[in-house]
Amino acid sequence: MPFTADKDLKLAFTPNLIPAKVHSALPEDLHLRPLAQDDYSRGHLDVLRVLTSAPDVGSSAWSERFDLMASHPDHYYPIVIVSKSTDRVVALGTLFVEFKFLRGNAKAGHIEDIAVSKEAQGKGLGKRVIEALTGVSEGLGCYKTFLDCSEENKGFYERCGYEFKGVQMSKYA
C-alpha cells in the first residue's frame, strides 16, 4: 500500500502539537502522526494486540470509537508510527488529559496503551512514542505526565526519563 500523507487523512488532533525534535530523531522510512480515521486498515489493532487483548471489533465499530475520541479533542491524543514503505502501523500510544480542580484547575497527562510491533521492538520506537506523548502533554501545560506499568517495563520508562512513584491499585470488573 502506498504511504498516505497527513493532508489526505482525518487525524484525531492537530499534528503541530507533536514536538519537531521527535520527528527528526526517527529513521527516514518512519512517520509519527496522530491516529487517523482509517488506521484500522493499517493494522492498528494488530499492534495493540502486542500489549493485551484487542479483539477485532470490525472497521465500523473501530471508526465509531475513533470518532468518539476525536469529538473530545481536549482529552484524547492517540498517536501512531507508520512505516512509509508499507503504510502499516508499527507503534502506538495515547495521551489522555485529565482536568482537575487541584493546583489551580491544573491538567494532568496520562500515558496509556503503549505498544510496538514485535518486529520493530528494540529500535528506539517506544522511546519516540513516549517522547512525543510527553511533549504533547507538556506543550498543553500538564503539570505532570504519568503512567502505570509492569515491573518488567520499569527499566524502559526509566530510559525515557520517568521515575518510580507509588503503587498502582486496580479492580477489574
Residues that bind ligand ACO (CB under 6 A): 50-51, 111-116, 121-127, 147-149, 152-153, 155-156, 159
Query: Residue 5 CB, nearest distance to ligand ACO (Å)?
Result: 24
Of the pair 70, 116, the CB lying nearest ligand ACO is at 116
> What distance in Å separates the CA atoms of residue 147 and residue 149, rounded to the nearest whole number?
7
Cβ atoms within 10 Å, residue 20: 9
Residue 34's SS3 state is strand
Are the CB atoms for 125 and 160 separated by under 8 Å?
Answer: no
> What distance in Å separates the CA atoms of residue 13 and residue 7, rounded to the nearest whole number?
13
Query: Residue 24 CB, nearest distance to ligand ACO (Å)?
Result: 16
Of the pair 12, 145, the CB lying nearest ligand ACO is at 145
Of the pair 36, 120, the CB lying nearest ligand ACO is at 120
Query: Residue 113 CB, nearest distance to ligand ACO (Å)?
Result: 5
Shortest Cβ contact with ligand ACO: which residue?
Answer: 126
Of the pair 34, 93, the CB lying nearest ligand ACO is at 93
Query: Residue 99 CB, nearest distance to ligand ACO (Å)?
Result: 20
Pairing of strands 89-99, 107-116: antiparallel
Can you list the alpha helix ranges (DSSP code H) found in the chain? 20-24, 44-48, 59-70, 102-105, 125-139, 154-159
